[in-house]
Amino acid sequence: MDIKWLEDFLSLAQTRNFSRSAQERNVTQSALSRRIRSLEAWVGADLVDRSTYPLILTPAGKLFSNSAVEAMRLLNDTRALLRVENKDENMLSISAGHTLSLNFLPKWLQTVEARFGQLRTRVLPTNVHDSVLSLVEGNCDLLLCYHHSDLPIELDPARFEYINLGGELVLPVSAPKRSGFAAFSLPGSRVAPTSQLGYTAGSFFARVVERIVARVDQPCFLVNSYESDLAELLKTMALSGLGLAWLPESCIRRELTEGKLVAAGGEQWNMTLEIRLFRAIDNRKPALLRLWENLQQH
């Protein structure tokens, strides 16, 4: 059982509306619905009567709601107590997507430490949604994420500020044939659609690929042969010659140089994302303020 399911359920119990709770929880309505279904499966009973509008809690839902409120109160009180007891003003926690955690963050930290001095950091790799939520809920000091004007990270500029750390090219790649050309290439055809190693629906990179395909003024014929949330896993599948995958350049730089992967389409199939570092403006941790000042000067 995921604690976020409890938070989703308590939000729904208050708003009695899936759409409003999804907005409040910063998730899609379908994702919220899946999480409530997962919670009901874990509990073993229906918690929400979906046949009414506004929706109401079932008798089981009302009973569970009381327990959930008390459980969240105890968990939050205990967490607050432990944070005070174990607070380390020199430790910076960084929440970041898996790809950035693996491929960008280590080298970036090296560069920063070369001019700033040694940093004490704790990296929290997770998906984009949960990393954003971690910053909003005060569970990390810094958020490292991708950003694009078509796929913005919605954070209140009155509460959060950011620094642009550079860009990341996302491009379609495939293992090569003996000729050196991509074994799987765009745009494919209606008769022979290209095998795609896709991202799970709703994930950030799935939305990136959807946006790329939508903006190219050319029909594209793809069939998903495999799906995953993780770019590194799709890279492994692409190297095995199982299909085409859109991957961040930092994830495949060596493989492109060595010719193990090759571009599977022209530049129109690429997208450049910003890499942004966010912080909460009211976070006054001394180590964070010193780092932020140094970053702004460079």
pLDDT, residue 85, reads 47
CA–CA distance, 21 with 27 (Å, rounded to integer): 9
Tokens for 76?
């939050």
Q: Tell me, what's the pLDDT at 141?
A: 94
Give the pLDDT confidence of 234-271 residue by residue, as tens digits: 999 999 999 999 999 999 999 999 999 999 999 999 99
Strand 271-280 with 56-57, pairing = unpaired
Name residue 152's amino acid: P
What's the token pair of residue 150?
């078509």
Q: What local confidence, expressed as pLDDT, does residue 78 receive? A: 73
Question: What is the set of domains in the chain, with CATH numbers?
Answer: 3-85 (1.10.10.10), 91-166+274-297 (3.40.190.10), 168-272 (3.40.190.10)
Backbone angles phi, psi at 141, to 5 degrees: -90, -35
Q: Count the helices and strands in the chain (H runs, E runs).
A: 11, 11
How confident is the model at residue 126, as a pLDDT? Answer: 86
Q: Are 142 and 279 in contact (CB under 8 A)?
A: yes
87-96, 210-219, 232-241, 271-280: least confidently modelled range: 87-96
Distance (Å, whole) CA 40 – CA 8: 12
Give the tens place of pLDDT for each residue, 148-205.
999 888 888 999 999 999 999 999 999 999 999 999 999 999 999 999 999 988 789 9
Helix (H, G, I), strand (E, B) or coil at 158: coil
- How many residues comprise the chain? 298
List Cα–Cα distances, 131 to 10, 26, 67, 100, 146, in angstroms: 21, 12, 27, 12, 11
Could you read off the pLDDT of 70-129 as tens digits, one per residue?
A: 888 888 777 666 665 455 667 899 999 889 999 999 999 999 998 888 888 989 888 888
